[in-house]
Amino acid sequence: MPEATFSQASSQLVARSKAGDREAFAKLYDEYFAVIYRFVFLKLRHKETSEDIAQNVFLKALSAIGTFEERGLPFSSWLYKIARNLCLDYFKKKSDVVVAEPEIFFPNIADEKMTAEESFDLQERVGRLLRAIDSLSDEQKEIVIMRFVQELSYEEISKILDKSEESLRAQNYRAMKKLKIILKEHGETGLG
Amino acid sequence: MEKLDWDKEEQKFKEIFSPILAINPEQVAMRRGRQQIFSYSRYSYNNWFTFSWLQVTPVVTFAVLVLLVGVGSRINEDPITEVYAMETESALIYEDISDAQMQVDEEGEIIGLDWDLDA
């Protein structure tokens, strides 16, 4: 699902949710749960905790939907902002949390339709990418995930992180340079 | 020129990172979350109800107390009550002087009181 665009349909669902329509909010949930879960999962690397936090994101959103105003910040960005804050709270409360190695969550990405070989190949690639992401600073990691995984625009990222687009671009370019070197070392050929 | 190159680079990165999109939540977890949303509406209703009741209770209690105090003070002013109070007081006076008015039998048992003060 393209994250950068906030569809007219979503806008209507948000308006209906604000008026107290739970069915409309449930549709928003169906539309955004997976992307929010992925966003949280990439930060925490723990399946159950990520599911719980992703659910809390939506419960918080539901309790505060009356106060949400679009004013340039799409609903999805608002959800990311809540998710990011909940992740920060989680890390504050559990300062001893160690982010899991990519191998630990390999079974979570297995797809029933894939052959064993395809599944293994996918796991290898995801593991390689996550290890490369882990080599970045926390800030760069966040930007890279939002930009390349969540496919958010710089404008949206700047609103979520409260940073200027210029500084985000600069940080992302530095991160890309670093990632390019690491990924090439690990045999990634798609970077030219 | 530089900007265009970076755009192309970014596009390459997006393609390279696409396998991460295979990370998805379990359907069971999604369903559970959905159920929570609907139970939340009931929860919030209950919460609202409790909240309102908590707000209303002190006001109602205060009003009842004011009413009781008001009624109580009116009762104290009731002339009949005052007569009862005077009689009780009189009885106590009699009790104080009762030694002289006591009617005692041969064995010293009190058998009654002489209420006639003039006697």
- Does B37 share its domain with B87? no
Q: B71 vs A52, which has greater pLDDT?
A: A52
* Full residue range of the structural domain in which residue B106 is found: 78-119
What is A102-165 written as a DSSP string?
GGGGGGGG--TTS-HHHHHHHHHHHHHHHHHHHTS-HHHHHHHIIIIIS---HHHHHHHHT--H
Q: In total, how many domains does chain B have?
A: 2
Cβ within 8 Å of residue A153, ≥6 positions away: A4
pLDDT in tens, A133-186: 988 998 999 999 999 998 899 999 999 999 999 999 999 999 999 999 998 887
Listed residues B39, B63, B87: the one ending a domain: B63
CB atoms within 10 A of CB B23: 20
Please indicate, yes or no, whether residues B56 and B85 belong to a single structural domain of this protein: no
Distance, in Å, from the CA atom of B23 to the CA atom of B41, rounded to the nearest integer, reads 30
B6 CB within 8 Å of a chain A CB: yes
pLDDT at position A4, please?
41
Is the pLDDT assigned to residue A101 strictly greater than 80? no
- Residues of A within 8 A of B10 (CB-CB) are 147-148, 172, 176
Tokens of B37: 């949303």
Domains along chain A?
A: 1-96 (1.10.1740.10)
Residue A191 has pLDDT above 80, yes or no: no
Q: Are residues B11 and B54 in the same domain?
A: yes
Residue to mutate among B16, B39, B41, B47, with most A CBs inside 10 A, is B16
Q: Which residues pair with B104 in a beta bridge?
A: B110
Q: Which two tokens stand for residue A107?
A: 């079974």
Length of chain A: 192
- Mean of the pLDDT values across residues A37-46? 89
Polymer length in residues for chain B = 119
B15 & B50 share domain: yes
The tokens for A172 are 């992302």
Cβ of A149 within 8 Å of Cβ of B20? The answer is yes
Which residues of chain A are within 8 Å of residue B9 when distances are taken between CB atoms?
176, 191
pLDDT at B1 (0 to 100)? 45
Which candidate, A48, A145, A49, places its Cα nearest to that of A90?
A49
The strand pairing partners of B110, in sequence order, are B104
The residue-averaged pLDDT of B45-58 equals 57
Q: Is A1 an interface residue toward B (CB < 8 Å)?
A: no
> Two tokens at B31?
């369903």
Looking at the structure, do residues B90 and B56 belong to the same domain, yes or no? no
Do B57 and B95 lie in one domain? The reply is no
Task: Give B46's pLDDT tier (boundaries 50, 70, 90).
Answer: very low
The residue among B46 and B82 whose pLDDT is bigger is: B82
Residue B46 placed within a domain? yes
Residue A1 or B52, more confident:
B52
Please indicate if any CB of chain B lies within 8 Å of the CB of A44: no
Q: Contact, A32 vs A9, CB < 8 A?
A: no
**CB contact, 8 Å: A122 with chain B?**
yes
What is the C-alpha radius of gyration for chain B, rounded to an integer number of angstroms?
Answer: 44
Say if the Cβ atoms of B32 and A108 lie within 8 Å: no
Q: Do B33 and A129 touch (CB under 8 A)?
A: no
Hey, what are B5's tokens?
């190159």
Within this chain, do residues B47 and B16 fall inside the same structural domain, yes or no?
yes
* B57 and B1 assigned to the same domain: yes
Distance in Å, alpha carbon of B4 to nearest chain A alpha carbon: 13
- Do B86 and B32 share a domain, yes or no? no
ipTM of the complex, rounded to two decimals: 0.78
